[in-house]
Amino acid sequence: MRSMRRGIKEMDLILSAYAGDRLEGMDEADLDLYDDMLNENDHDIYQWITGFLTPKPVYEAMVEDIQAHISKG
């Protein structure tokens, strides 16, 4: 639910699609990391995903996975 009700519409679309496809396959550590990332500012997450800012190192792999998910359509 937290992936769908973000502060900006772009993040609603990106994260709800990602969560729908990926959350079920995540282990507990990945779920905790995703939950931590959702506590970050939406504008920061959006800029990480779009490549305008470098993500915090802890989120780099997850951001890359989100970017790959977006590029698959």
Each residue of 16-33: pLDDT tens digit? Answer: 999 999 999 999 999 999
Query: Could you please report the per-residue DSSP string of 20-48?
Result: HHHGGG--HHHHHHHHHHHTS-HHHHHHH
Residue 1 carries which DSSP code?
-
pTM for the whole structure: 0.88
Would the pLDDT of 15 be above 60? yes
Each residue of 38-62: pLDDT tens digit? Answer: 999 989 999 999 999 999 999 999 9
